[in-house]
Amino acid sequence: MTELAIGRDHAAGDDSARVFKPLALPPGPLAGATISGQFTGIVVDVETTGLDPDHDCIIELALRRFRYTDDGLITDLGQPYSWLEDPGKSLSPEISQLTKLNDADLVGQRIDEKLATELLTDANLVIAHHARFDRKWVESRLPGAAGRDWACSMEQIDWPQLGFDGRKLGYLLMQMDHYHAGHRASSDVDAVVQLLRYRGPDGRTALAQLLETTAEPSWIIQAYGAHFNTKDRLKARKYRWDPDLKLWWREVPDRDRAAEEWWLASNIYSPDQQHTSLGPRLIEVSASTRFL
């Protein structure tokens, strides 16, 4: 890949083009690291034939390990691993267009289950940019790697607080003046590693914030019995609709649990709201049970 010059820097008051560099992360120690981190992280990404883990298949799995310190400094990068897998059926035109893979690329291909499982189970933390999606697929395909601690670089890092717009992987990367071959698992993994290395205004890395958020217990709050008329309030409060359970839910950190229960008591379960349950159901989650 070559450098791209896109647009003009109007904020700077001149006609200079902004240069986007191709992302390249060779394995080995990283510049500025004087020690090797005592912890092992691994970034994972999958490409699939669809959105349903019960009926669709993984067609690409990528992993990359790194060493990090307890304050979130990535010190060493491992080699990248990537496998294609034959789903046993033709790809849809939409998936082929999205991933740039076709049936001929996948014929006879197979994930190295033993090696992939060993890499995942050896890590202290598994990271994906959309862990609510990736974790289900990875643990279904590699059950020997189930139950690890997982983190999500999209949900568990406050990107606006770090000065970024949006949460999409490619867009975040471009705000760091890099670009990559999006929607291929191997390049997406490297993009996540690059984002984790970013230092905010306080000098802390994005990984440091992720580690802090991941370590804190949280609660999934399910608004059982909430009346239909309260759906707009719940949606505005960042609750999500679960079509299988047919209820609204959200996850809050432990420090916000009491405030959320008070809000629900006043706005959803007050006597005038025609609810059919006495209150919400709360499920405590940790890094090993989150995103399932």
Please give the tally of structural domains in the chain.
2
Domain finish residue from 196, 215, 234: 215
CATH number of the domain that residue 171 is part of: 3.30.420.10
Same-domain status, 11 and 134: yes
* Cα–Cα distance measured from residue 193 to residue 44, given in angstroms and rounded to the nearest whole number: 10
Residue 292: inside a domain? no
| pLDDT for the residue 288 | 96
Same-domain status, 89 and 230: no
Same-domain status, 105 and 228: no
The beta strand positions in the chain, using DSSP E, are: 4-6, 18-22, 28-29, 39-48, 58-68, 74-84, 125-128, 150-152, 178-179, 218-222, 240-242, 247-253, 281-285
Give the model's confidence band at 292: pLDDT under 50 very low, under 70 low, under 90 confident, else very high: confident
Dump pLDDT digits (tens) for 82-135: 999 999 999 999 999 989 899 999 999 999 999 999 999 999 999 999 999 999
Same-domain status, 208 and 225: no
For tokens 């890099």, name the residue. Answer: 178
Give the model's confidence band at 13: pLDDT under 50 very low, under 70 low, under 90 confident, else very high: very low
Residue 214 vs residue 32, higher pLDDT: 214
Return the minimum-mean-pLDDT range out of 8-22, 186-200, 212-226: 8-22
| pLDDT for the residue 188 | 93
* Cα–Cα distance measured from residue 145 to residue 117, given in angstroms and rounded to the nearest whole number: 5
- Mean per-residue pLDDT, 27-47: 92
* Cα–Cα distance measured from residue 194 to residue 28, given in angstroms and rounded to the nearest whole number: 14
Give the model's confidence band at 16: pLDDT under 50 very low, under 70 low, under 90 confident, else very high: low
pTM across the whole model: 0.88
Residue 165: inside a domain? yes
* Cα–Cα distance measured from residue 216 to residue 5, given in angstroms and rounded to the nearest whole number: 42
Residue-range definition of the domain harbouring residue 261: 218-285
Dump pLDDT digits (tens) for 255-278: 999 999 999 999 999 999 999 999
The average confidence (pLDDT) of the chain is 91
Same-domain status, 79 and 184: yes
Same-domain status, 118 and 228: no
Residue 161: inside a domain? yes
| pLDDT for the residue 193 | 96
Same-domain status, 101 and 230: no
Residue 79: inside a domain? yes
